[in-house]
Chains A and B, each alone.
Chain A
């Protein structure tokens, strides 16, 4: 069904109090390699259409979500809307304004036409340019290049039309030593077309695989007490997500938060700012799923909680200003030069663990690099653990900068007192 026809059905129904319509059009080209052989190529052209129907009844706000599919016509959609209204009336959530106040419509002027097949092929060339070692190679590579157009409408006549471009690469590098082959895993994602950066990332990963092939076991190395432990990538994301979610209005409303406004999170006077758009961060978005137009919001300042953040509903319950769901975190603060001290860089966890309720964090390490004051020694097959709410009090930030899909800031978080076992 055309968007205008769907809106017509929604507008014609007088039994609903409000609605939101979100359409995501995805166009993607995908290449799947075994070694450097292209095994399969894929094209994806799909549209996902979601409608949220709201009904205010007595002192309640009820809602129900439905989807519009290619099988729908006017008759079937009208029935879905009617059924959704019945369901929304059975939902007795305490009243909140269904739609946030939105004062502007966002329409992306960037109408760039991307030749997705050509870009995907160039990404492949950039990836395999790094595949230059005799003992190391890329065993498996998957490349995804996509554009996503999101159209948002609500019953207050808000109309957004935003576009995103994304490159994602999954690679499994392998390295062979005289005894065995070992491998690592990497998911790389960006919204920039920068082929040389892709080659650099893959090359670094292959060299990490080499390190793992030469890695020693913990029992073979004597580590000093109170060693500085540096974490990066997905563990860094997990830690910052945990602190941000802890002071989300939803967590506060449900009393699942460890911190509140003005509480001290870290003795380090660091700051954490939520940003809708950061160049190169592929999670960037000017609007959230409620159509809210997002703005930079500092949630931690000088190590203390400055602002609770979150969506319209929980902001209303807690009498706070809604910020919307802002996708990118930017961390900043005094930087620390760890390079001369003995330290342990955790390059890869099997699967980073963090239990937000108890604060337990850690996991089994696939590759770490121990700097003994003179040189780096690769280590594997051990674990680290700690309590993030304790350990974050003394966290330090590295000087190097990175960007992840939803993060910009120091490359490493530096901890002391973490258990290594």
Chain B
């Protein structure tokens, strides 16, 4: 159910919109409430916390060619004059600039997607403790942390023409295992993201033995010899490449600022002809699957790359307005305290026709890369850096047993995507990540795809 506090403020929001419309040409109010339950069971620490990380409002107004926003905890006693006073700038440093005003259509709707398998705290602690204890049966394990996080998001969006509400849940279950052999310390992790608590916890248990196995094997891992190799990426690394290559690269607020090279490549080849790529809150059910964005725009699915050709970007409503395009429902805020930007949601490559076994057999010398560590994009100059936690060596189509860590993929985005020669026939989207814009503005995202075979510079 929608959070009661937000529900009780819809009438107040409507009244405040009416009052502020006497001064401003456009007014909208977004109310946001996020309740996060986090249960963590570690080697020497347990915690059970329930935190309302967000509970507040942001009021967006437009006048004289400029938008202004006011973020606050409550609108109950807020007067229109308080908002006007805080947002009025005297002699603001700016050159002349006229942003257009947002036009809206009538839209009233309530949306709901909830966890149907809620589990008691005691049961969650029991399940996490079982996994932790199993990890510690191995003498090389020095530390384990096993966590369950459930986010319950409620939002309301009120303007003259819109009154929208949504409530959705997302559950992550995570495991971190630290191993040690003398001074050699290694870490491995695994995260599941699901719309059901039961499913997330079951999957974590199922995958925990592999997490342990790799954590122990990593003690024998060596750094990779820098060079150019054939790679096969697991869905998490495929997703990381999608995210960094043409996720950030097609955020259309970057087009407005002329910060994205992609703007000049719409309709041109940017990848191998066997590559398709998508983004959208409505594309799949994952961690960034909402019903409407923080501009009150309905979620959608955008095909970014079709058969290797760049199709379009993703946008928040203001960027779309400036560029004369249709908003794609990608306007997101870190919280009600922050500005809205164009942001990715669920970003993934489409499936191909190849079998994974055939892909492995076709590698003469290269690495199978696993597990996202981190990544960084450069939308203006199309340099990319993606770090995989580890890689398994393949020679003449067979695993050699050698493991390397970490593995940094770097290079020119188009070179990397154009080198994709095989795409597997199934897709996995992993809903456990977060993404920043620059080095801030963190939002929940998912990414993924099939297994990809490509050529890349590794270091």
Contacts and interface: CB of A to CB of B under 8 A. Distances in A.
Nearest to B457: A383
B183 A383 contact: no
B185 interface: yes
B125 A90 contact: yes
B46 A254 contact: no
Contacts of B383: 350, 364, 366, 381
Interface string B84-96: 0011011111111
A44 B71 contact: yes
A41 B63 CA distance: 12
Contacts of B87: 41, 43
B49 A66 contact: yes
A45 interface: yes
A70 B53 contact: no
B122 interface: yes
B365 interface: no
B99 interface: yes
A83 B49 CA distance: 10
B185 A385 contact: no
A128 B381 CA distance: 24
Contacts of B337: 26, 44, 46
Interface residues of B, number: 77
Contacts of A83: 50
A93 B55 contact: no
A38 B97 contact: yes
Interface centre among A174, A254, A419 (most CB of B within 10 A): A254
A118 B72 CA distance: 21
Given A41-B89, A63-B47, A255-B180, A34 B385 contact: no
A206 interface: no
B143 A34 contact: no
A253 B142 CA distance: 10
Given A46-B72, A357-B186, A69 B52 contact: yes
A362 B142 CA distance: 27
Given A121-B93, A353-B408, A70 B73 contact: yes
Contact of B339 (A42, A47, A254): A42
B230 interface: no
A40 B55 CA distance: 23
B139 interface: no
Given A87-B48, A383-B226, A41 B68 contact: yes
Nearest to A385: B459
Contact of A357 (B185, B223, B375): B185
B405 interface: yes
Nearest to A43: B86
Rank and list the top 5 A-B pairs by shortest CB-CB distance, nearest first: A71-B5, A37-B97, A351-B376, A38-B94, A69-B55
Given A38-B92, A47-B73, A187-B438, 11 more contacts: A42-B69, A45-B70, A69-B55, A71-B5, A172-B257, A180-B381, A254-B44, A255-B143, A355-B405, A357-B185, A358-B184
25 contacts: A34-B256, A38-B92, A38-B93, A39-B99, A41-B87, A41-B92, A42-B71, A44-B71, A46-B71, A46-B337, A65-B49, A70-B76, A71-B5, A71-B33, A90-B46, A90-B121, A91-B48, A185-B438, A255-B143, A258-B185, A355-B405, A357-B186, A366-B383, A385-B408, A421-B459
